[in-house]
A = this chain, B = another copy of it.
């Protein structure tokens, strides 16, 4: 079973971290080199990597420090990582590593074990979702869940179930069209792109019959934060009586979605696209990068177990 390049977009080779530059896809499959944690943190801020890529990158930053003999910089690196972007819970990741260090555990081994566990858990998650899919289903998805969607498709194939996909383009960064459609087509699946405002139309016309999305943050009560637009799709799925499944990261310490800090990004990112001005000069935009979907709209959470 071959995996999408997005499933494991970060590598560490001879003390250099290689980060798949997701902003260049699908035009170019290329990797950015990060020689230290500052360069790696910049890649997070500039959204060169996202979703699970961020989780991997955090772990590889610490591994890199160890390989470079810079164990003394662990805390400084953790602080820089925590300050990159607010919605994914970077602190809960760096706390795991700092916790191991504090206990005097064998750090490199712990991190490698964590990464192995993450890989295993993600594959299990995809397999679990595939069991919810019936022959002939058409799945609507939004944004990108880092290689899990083609993997779900592969599990369906193994189970002799035909599945096809619709993806929103996911403005403003177009991860749905640039990443999800790209990796699904690459893996030989039938995939159709719609603009974000076509969800009600395709649902009402019966063109899709299940929704599967990921999440950047899971609060203790089951509320999730995910790419802007997810909340609206969840409301529509409820209205049209379609199941809405969420592949979740491990839960954070936050009680509910109301406590999740939503990242506000520069409005330039919605008013321009790749240097092309889309909006009239002088008009402002509003760009929350995520929204919070209440647990009550989620048909089923697919949880992830990570050993710590």
> Could you tell me which A residues sit within 8 Å of B by CB distance?
26, 142, 166, 168-172, 174, 177-178, 181-182, 185, 191-202, 204, 207, 228-229, 231-232, 235-236, 239, 267, 270-271, 273-274, 276, 278-288, 291-292
Alpha-carbon gap, A305 to B161, bound state (A): 55
Within the complex, the shortest CB–CB distance from A217 to chain B, in Å, comes to 15
Q: How many copies does the complex hold?
A: 2
B residues near A171, Cβ cutoff 8 Å: 169, 171, 195-197
Alpha-carbon gap, A276 to B182, bound state (A): 17
With contacts A169-B270, A235-B235, A276-B276 known, what are 10 further pairs, Cβ within 8 A? A142-B197, A169-B278, A194-B286, A195-B229, A198-B286, A198-B287, A199-B232, A201-B231, A232-B236, A274-B276
The answer on a CB contact under 8 Å between B229 and A198 is yes
Alpha-carbon gap, A182 to B26, bound state (A): 32
Known: A200-B232, A235-B236, A282-B185. A172 touches B193 (CB 8 A): no
Alpha-carbon gap, A11 to B207, bound state (A): 42
Q: State which of B177, B192, B196 has its C-beta within 8 Å of the C-beta of A196.
A: B196
> Which chain B residue shows the least CB distance to A297?
B239
> Which chain B residue shows the least CB distance to A27?
B277
The answer on a CB contact under 8 Å between A198 and B235 is no
Within the complex, the shortest CB–CB distance from A169 to chain B, in Å, comes to 7
B residues near A236, Cβ cutoff 8 Å: 232, 235-236
Q: State which of B172, B181, B271 has its C-beta within 8 Å of the C-beta of A280.
A: B181
The answer on a CB contact under 8 Å between B198 and A228 is yes
List 23 contacting pairs A-B, 8 Å CB cutoff, sorted by A. A166-B286, A169-B270, A171-B195, A174-B279, A177-B271, A177-B280, A178-B278, A181-B283, A191-B283, A192-B286, A193-B283, A194-B270, A194-B285, A195-B228, A198-B287, A200-B231, A200-B291, A201-B291, A204-B291, A235-B235, A235-B236, A236-B236, A273-B276
Alpha-carbon gap, A273 to B168, bound state (A): 16
Alpha-carbon gap, A280 to B186, bound state (A): 10
The answer on a CB contact under 8 Å between B279 and A193 is yes
Alpha-carbon gap, A229 to B181, bound state (A): 21
Alpha-carbon gap, A254 to B194, bound state (A): 28
Alpha-carbon gap, A274 to B275, bound state (A): 13
B residues near A169, Cβ cutoff 8 Å: 171, 270, 278-279
Alpha-carbon gap, A171 to B239, bound state (A): 23
The answer on a CB contact under 8 Å between B178 and A279 is yes
Within the complex, the shortest CB–CB distance from A261 to chain B, in Å, comes to 14
The answer on a CB contact under 8 Å between A178 and B235 is no
B residues near A235, Cβ cutoff 8 Å: 200, 235-236, 239
Alpha-carbon gap, A127 to B197, bound state (A): 29
B residues near A204, Cβ cutoff 8 Å: 231, 291-292
Known: A177-B279, A235-B236, A273-B276. A284 touches B172 (CB 8 A): no
The answer on a CB contact under 8 Å between A283 and B177 is yes
